[in-house]
């Protein structure tokens, strides 16, 4: 890797890490102010649709459609043609999402009533009324985030990575600042305090656009209100957006399904959302990192028809991912309650909220493995120019998740939604791996299976050690110590003990993947 690319990768990693850490701080602030109350549920339900579109655009449409097409225009036709295409895409997004915003504003209440009678009747109808109000406030975020993602796609095509990766952090900053400023102002005006957070979300959307425009303007971009839906480049992007979005839609659509099914249960939507965020953090740190490193190599091998090399690359990536994700899964399961208490339990987020969120995290955690495998396996099909397979598997996963969640929520309550989502993610990963293995005549299956058994055994021993330390330590610490200090020591001591035991177990089992993973993590930290 050249010095320039290495520097870009390092800056991109720094910006992404900053955004994720600020996301945790944002959730901590929200939890302290509103806990798992009706108001928190109302805000999370109201913002689910805009956030769904943001995630799908960021993970699917832009990567699969816009960025490659824009880059090709940039190389073959020059910057003026690329700027024209960028303007066409931005204006098309404004028209389409603007129309959706208008429809959303007109039909907010009928759409929310589709969530069921329990939701409509909750808190004497107050929950529905507040959700309608918040949904109308945050609805324009849909257009703001679509434009912000398009700007990020253009900057990435120009090899400008830091600002696009940093822009989501400004949304988190806006929400955190709004909790300090807009929430008290809303209370002073006699409004519901959660309205201050909704206003802060819109400010965050504006900031994501504003921070990227100066960099684009320095590159020569100028916004023009031009429209040409017959343009070949725009039509190509629109045609590619569908498969690219659907192929990664399972996780986000399943989260939307959970929101709909949990809407009538007090505090369930918020508990599920906080638990999902904690579960998804290792995926962002491990699964995405490994997939990002392996995908360019897989793409080059697929182009050259070197399928034997693809087998080895994918096998190595899977084993590396297992070494990182399986211990993370076990750790979150055995330490769910102390972790949630450490991160969230303060202010309005009480012990009851902790127990509800920890229960959801316990059942969500196995999904780490499924989601991480999908991050590696799904792009391999696109590298082989096969968009149909991941799309069909994604649609099947959504259907399986819907059936599971409708069934399990009746048996287990809202924790059944977390379990159904985790099972669906494992189904998604298993089916993709089976089809990929068949396509490539194997993925060193025996070697991957042996590594998985060894890693699972080492992780189980690690989990036992972590759980034992977490249960023992609070009893030996002075009772006069603040609860926050006790929880912090409990979590960090349990994690430290678990990692030491994991290292010893990996050495005893001769797990080469552990040393490889450790070297990769240290390498990323040094960079």
Distance between CA 194 and CA 40 in Å, rounded?
Answer: 8
- Residue 63 tokens, joined: 């990567």
3-state SS string for 383-399? HCCCCHHHHHHHHHHHH
Among 393, 408, 406, 401, residue whose Cα is nearest residue 422? 401
Among 185, 200, 181, residue whose Cα is nearest residue 43? 200
Ranges of the chain with pLDDT below 50: 1-10
Distance between CA 136 and CA 102 in Å, rounded?
Answer: 10
Q: At what angle do helices 307-334 and 512-526 cross, to 10 degrees?
A: 90
Distance between CA 100 and CA 105 in Å, rounded?
Answer: 9
Please tell me whether the overall predicted TM-score, pTM, comes out greater than 0.75 for this model.
Answer: yes
Q: Are 247 and 391 in contact (CB under 8 A)?
A: yes
- Residue 22 tokens, joined: 């600020």
Tens-digit pLDDT profile for residues 472-495: 988 888 878 888 888 889 999 999
The pLDDT, as a whole number, for residue 2 is 39
DSSP 163-216: HHHHHHHHHHHHHHHHHHTHHHHHHHTTS-THHHHHHHHHHHHHHHHHTTHHHH
Provide the strand spans (E) within 23-79. Answer: none
The pLDDT, as a whole number, for residue 4 is 47
Tens-digit pLDDT profile for residues 348-374: 898 899 999 999 999 999 988 888 888
Question: For residue 447, with 0-12 CB atoms within 10 Å meaning exposed, 13-18 middle and 19 or more buried, which class applies?
Answer: middle
Tell me 123's DSSP state: G
Distance between CA 419 and CA 400 in Å, rounded?
Answer: 12
Distance between CA 6 and CA 12 in Å, rounded?
Answer: 10
Q: How many CB atoms lie within 10 A of CB 105?
A: 12
Q: Are 398 and 339 in contact (CB under 8 A)?
A: no
The pLDDT, as a whole number, for residue 79 is 85
Contacts of residue 80, defined as CB under 8 A and 6 or more positions apart, other chains included, come to none
The pLDDT, as a whole number, for residue 116 is 67
The pLDDT, as a whole number, for residue 236 is 75
Q: Are 112 and 132 in contact (CB under 8 A)?
A: yes
Q: Per this entry, what is the length of the chain?
A: 527
The phi-psi region of residue 78 (left if phi > 0; otherwise alpha if psi is between -120 and 50; otherwise beta) is: left
Distance between CA 212 and CA 206 in Å, rounded?
Answer: 10
The pLDDT, as a whole number, for residue 19 is 75
Task: Map tokens 């805009």 to a residue.
Answer: 50
The pLDDT, as a whole number, for residue 3 is 46
Q: Are 517 and 323 in contact (CB under 8 A)?
A: yes
The pLDDT, as a whole number, for residue 11 is 54
Distance between CA 352 and CA 31 in Å, rounded?
Answer: 13
Among 87, 70, 83, residue whose Cα is nearest residue 233? 70
- Residue 117 tokens, joined: 């009678």
The pLDDT, as a whole number, for residue 5 is 39
């Amino acid at each position: 890797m050249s010095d320039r690319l290495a520097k870009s990768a390092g800056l991109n990693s720094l910006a992404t890490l900053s955004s994720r850490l600020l996301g945790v701080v944002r959730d901590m602030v929200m939890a302290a102010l509103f806990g798992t109350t009706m108001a928190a549920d109302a805000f999370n339900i109201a913002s689910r649709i805009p956030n769904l579109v943001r995630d799908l655009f960021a993970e699917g449409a832009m990567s699969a459609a816009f960025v490659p097409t824009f880059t090709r225009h940039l190389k073959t036709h020059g910057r003026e043609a690329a700027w024209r295409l960028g303007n066409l895409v931005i204006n098309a997004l404004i028209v389409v999402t603007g129309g959706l915003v208008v429809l959303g504003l007109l039909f907010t209440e009928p759409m929310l009533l589709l969530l069921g009678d329990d939701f409509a009747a909750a808190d004497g109808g107050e929950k529905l009324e507040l959700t309608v109000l918040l949904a109308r406030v945050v609805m324009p975020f849909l257009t703001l985030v679509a434009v912000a993602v398009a700007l990020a796609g253009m900057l990435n095509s120009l090899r400008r990575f830091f600002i696009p990766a940093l822009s989501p952090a400004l949304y988190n900053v806006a929400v955190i600042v709004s909790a300090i400023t807009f929430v008290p102002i809303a209370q002073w005006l006699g409004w519901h305090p959660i309205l201050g957070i909704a206003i802060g979300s819109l400010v965050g959307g504006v900031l994501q656009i504003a921070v990227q425009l100066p960099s684009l303007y320095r590159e020569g971009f100028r916004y023009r209100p031009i429209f040409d839906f017959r343009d070949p480049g725009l039509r190509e992007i629109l045609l590619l957006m569908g498969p690219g979005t659907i192929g990664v839609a399972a996780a986000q659509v399943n989260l939307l399904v959970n929101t709909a099914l949990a809407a009538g249960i007090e505090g369930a939507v918020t508990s599920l959302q906080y638990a999902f965020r904690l579960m998804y953090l290792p995926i962002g740190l491990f699964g995405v990192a490994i997939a990002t490193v392996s995908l360019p190599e897989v793409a080059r091998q697929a182009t050259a028809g070197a399928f034997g090399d693809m087998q080895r690359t994918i096998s190595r990536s899977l084993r590396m991912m297992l070494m990182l994700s399986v211990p993370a899964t076990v750790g979150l399961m055995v330490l769910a309650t102390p972790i949630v208490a450490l991160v969230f339990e303060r202010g309005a987020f009480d012990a009851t909220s902790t127990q509800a969120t920890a229960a959801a995290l316990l059942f969500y955690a196995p999904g780490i493995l499924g989601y991480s495998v999908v991050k590696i396996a799904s792009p391999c099909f696109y590298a082989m120019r096969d968009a149909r397979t991941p799309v069909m598997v994604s649609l099947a996963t959504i259907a399986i998740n819907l059936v599971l969640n409708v069934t399990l929520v009746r048996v287990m309550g809202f924790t059944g939604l977390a379990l159904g989502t985790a099972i669906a993610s494992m189904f998604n990963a298993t089916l993709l791996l089976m089809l990929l293995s068949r396509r490539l005549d194997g993925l060193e299956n025996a070697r991957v299976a042996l590594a998985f058994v060894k890693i699972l055994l080492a992780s189980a021993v690690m989990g036992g050690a972590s759980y034992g330390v977490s249960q023992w330590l609070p009893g030996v610490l002075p009772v006069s110590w603040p609860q926050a200090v006790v929880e912090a020591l409990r979590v960090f001591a349990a994690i430290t003990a678990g990692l030491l035991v994991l290292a010893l177990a990996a050495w005893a089992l001769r797990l080469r993947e552990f040393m490889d993973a450790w070297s990769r993590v240290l390498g990323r930290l040094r960079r």
